[in-house]
A and B are shown apart, each in its own frame.
Chain A
Amino acid sequence: MMKVKDPKPLEFRNVLISPGRDFLGLSLTFKEDRPGLLREISEIIENAGLSINYIYGYSVGAEPRMILVVDITGRELDVQELINRISEVRGIGEVVVFEPVTRGLIADTTSFPPTVFGERIVMLRKSAVKELIRGLIGTIGPRAASGILYQVGVRMGRGLSRKHVSLSKELGIEDPFEVVEKVALPLFQSLGYGIAEVEKRGEKIVVKKYECIECTSLREVLEEHPDLVKDDGEIACSMVRGIIEGAVSEIMGIPYESHEEKCVARGDEYCELVLVPRK
């Protein structure tokens, strides 16, 4: 897997907060894609003297679209004229305006639901992950909580990897380990779970995880509530372990079992997951 040095944080600015600024939101759909389409849209925006604060868009897939937020502070803007100009660009379908909820705060209320691979998703904030972990451990104990999170992870991993396998077939990737390395783990990172590296050691598959959202959340929960777990042996990152184990088993076509050699929740610098074929 190609490594990117120092990945940059990705900010979904579909909620944009900037006190004192006036924003205007535009939601566009595309009827066709062609080189130069974006240049034409950005020229119209530039000619209106507007700077762009946020764009999220794609011209491929079932319903290609683009969300733009521009700063209109202090400008006398002919919104209808702007919409007409953009609508006239060849390839543009619908143009819809969304307004700020108040000065300095705009949210993209035209997009719902968010999806990945055509399936509905939710963006779970880290604080929500922490509450989920704390609530489960506090109520049913660390072992039972770990068991549930692990089972949930396995189901998630198996489901996701079916998509990875069909996508890899389309691309002509035949080697299952290559599917893990080149499709599953990059997607794991792009969905925000953590940065993962994988290597094969004989029949074992070893996954190193950095900045894993579950492990860092668990570590913070244990720092904030030191009495939650009485025995260090009960500290385990389970959901992400389940996700990776489920995905690897599905992709490799044989069941694997996994254990964590290292975990940031136990004070290690990174997490290391060792997967071996289930006997």
Chain B
Amino acid sequence: MSILYRIFYMRIQGLLPWGLRVVGGRNRPINLGRYAVSPGRRLAAYSMDITENRVGILRDVAQAVAQRGGDILYLHLQVGEGGKGTIFFIIDVTESTLDFGELTEALNEIEGVGNVDLILPVKEGLLIDTSNFPAYVGDSRVAIMRDVLLRSAKKELVKRIGHEATDALLYNIGFEMGLGAGEDHKKIARSVGIEDPKDVLELVTVPLFKTLGYGEAELRLSEEGGEIRLYRNIECEAAGIVGRTSCSLLRGMWAGVLTSVLGKEVEVEEVRCTAAGDGYCELKVVPRVQAG
């Protein structure tokens, strides 16, 4: 057994504090489009409530589908407080003689499952999840935006008000977005006993920044300020190489988050940027000096 797993065991047994890092592996893209496109295939989807989660509930659902020759192409299961949740899956039944009504009944009979809805494709070979709406991450409703949003918004703004004014505007918008996000991060952190602002940033802000799709961040902060390195930052990746620093919105976001979480105003300046040809983006953080 590897040292990493020994450490992990000790964590499970409460002999060591919980760690942070992924064990092995690498980043992989994740497709969040909840659809299946298979021309000529017979598809269907089921959406159901979990009224009471229990060990083995997914096994029973998967068994009901597999016994009837259905192949699950897409699956989303989530369970929240009180063991309540939802399951949504898309199946390919081309190779089976599956009776949808009979499968619905079988799913309804599974202990802990309630309200089973069958969703038929809008067109043979195309099934899009319209049974789950709106989408949330934590308590916040989210919309999935392509990176073209940032690219086009910046292009339009530059056309109307010029580069400098665009940078200032996006920074300010980002700052307000960051202040709000920082308050949320503190709330999440408090709920699991994290109080130290640096831990809030490392353990909540950085993973959320990544999981929402903005980029990967590495923090090197001290009382005097420090640096934030951003890898594959969506704003600059969308900009392409334009020969100038371009992280206005995300620079503002980090300034807002840091101000909220650290409880003191900071200034954030961009010293490296992929849009300027650097290998990564780097933000320099300094405490704001109060005038007078």
Give residues in A with beta carbon < 8 Å to B.
1-2, 4-5, 7-15, 17-19, 22, 27, 29, 33-39, 42-43, 45-46, 49-61, 63, 65-67, 72, 75-77, 79-80, 94, 96-105, 107-129, 131-132, 134-136, 139-140, 144, 147-149, 151-152, 155-156, 159-160, 167, 170-173, 178, 182-183, 186-187, 189-193, 195, 211, 213
Of B47, B74, B160, B234, which one neighbours A60 at CB under 8 angstroms?
B74
Secondary structure type dominating chain A contacts: mixed
Q: Which residues of B from 44 to 83 have beta carbons under 8 Å from A? A: 47, 49, 53-59, 62-63, 65-66, 69-81
Of B62, B95, B137, B143, which one neighbours A15 at CB under 8 angstroms?
B137
Assuming the contacts A9-B132, A33-B73, asked whether A43 and B192 have C-beta atoms less than 8 A apart, the reply is: no
**A31 vs B210: C-alpha distance when bound (angstroms):** 26
B37 at the A interface (CB under 8 A):
yes
Of B72, B81, B140, B147, which one neighbours A127 at CB under 8 angstroms?
B140
Of A72, A79, A102, which one neighbours B193 at CB under 8 angstroms?
A102
Q: Which of B20-28, B218-226, B262-270, B279-287 contacts A (4 or more CB under 8 A)?
A: B20-28
Q: Is the CB of A171 within 8 A of B142?
A: no
Assuming the contacts A129-B143, A155-B148, asked whether A111 and B192 have C-beta atoms less than 8 A apart, the reply is: no
Distance in Å: Cβ of A67 to nearest Cβ of chain B:
7
Q: Is the CB of B66 within 8 A of A39?
A: yes
**A211 vs B141: C-alpha distance when bound (angstroms):** 11
Chain A residue at smallest Cβ distance from B87:
A55
Give residues in B with beta carbon < 8 Å to A.
1, 5, 8-9, 11-13, 17-39, 47, 49, 53-59, 62-63, 65-66, 69-81, 86, 88, 95, 117, 119-120, 122-126, 128-138, 140-150, 152-153, 156-157, 160-161, 169, 172-173, 176-177, 180-181, 184, 188, 191-194, 203-204, 207-208, 210-214, 216, 232, 234, 237
Assuming the contacts A60-B38, A120-B147, asked whether A52 and B193 have C-beta atoms less than 8 A apart, the reply is: no
A-B contact pairs, 17 of them (CB 8 A): A7-B130, A15-B137, A17-B138, A42-B59, A51-B55, A75-B12, A77-B12, A97-B23, A102-B18, A116-B32, A127-B140, A135-B169, A136-B173, A139-B172, A140-B169, A173-B123, A183-B126
Q: Is the CB of B156 within 8 A of A152?
A: yes
Q: Is the CB of B131 within 8 A of A7?
A: yes
Q: Which residues of B contact A105 (CB under 8 A)?
A: 188, 192, 194, 203-204
Q: Which residues of B contact A76 (CB under 8 A)?
A: 12-13
Distance in Å: Cβ of A181 to nearest Cβ of chain B:
8
Of A109, A167, A213, which one neighbours B141 at CB under 8 angstroms?
A213
Q: Which residues of B contact A7 (CB under 8 A)?
A: 130-133
Q: Is the CB of A119 within 8 A of B147?
A: yes
Distance in Å: Cβ of A215 to nearest Cβ of chain B:
12
**A7 vs B204: C-alpha distance when bound (angstroms):** 30
**A61 vs B73: C-alpha distance when bound (angstroms):** 10
Q: Is the CB of B59 within 8 A of A12?
A: no
Q: Which residues of A contact B169 (CB under 8 A)?
A: 135-136, 139-140
**A279 vs B133: C-alpha distance when bound (angstroms):** 36
Q: Which residues of A contact B18 (CB under 8 A)?
A: 99-103
Q: Is the CB of B19 within 8 A of A99?
A: yes
Q: Is the CB of B31 within 8 A of A34?
A: no
Chain B residue at smallest Cβ distance from A172:
B39
Q: Is the CB of B211 within 8 A of A58?
A: no
Q: What 12 additional pairs, Cβ within 8 angstroms, besides A60-B36, A114-B31?
A: A10-B88, A29-B28, A55-B76, A99-B22, A102-B18, A112-B30, A118-B31, A122-B234, A123-B212, A128-B181, A183-B123, A186-B130
Distance in Å: Cβ of B54 to nearest Cβ of chain A:
7
Q: Is the CB of B47 within 8 A of A125?
A: no
Assuming the contacts A99-B21, A135-B176, A192-B135, asked whether A109 and B210 have C-beta atoms less than 8 A apart, the reply is: yes
**A128 vs B47: C-alpha distance when bound (angstroms):** 29
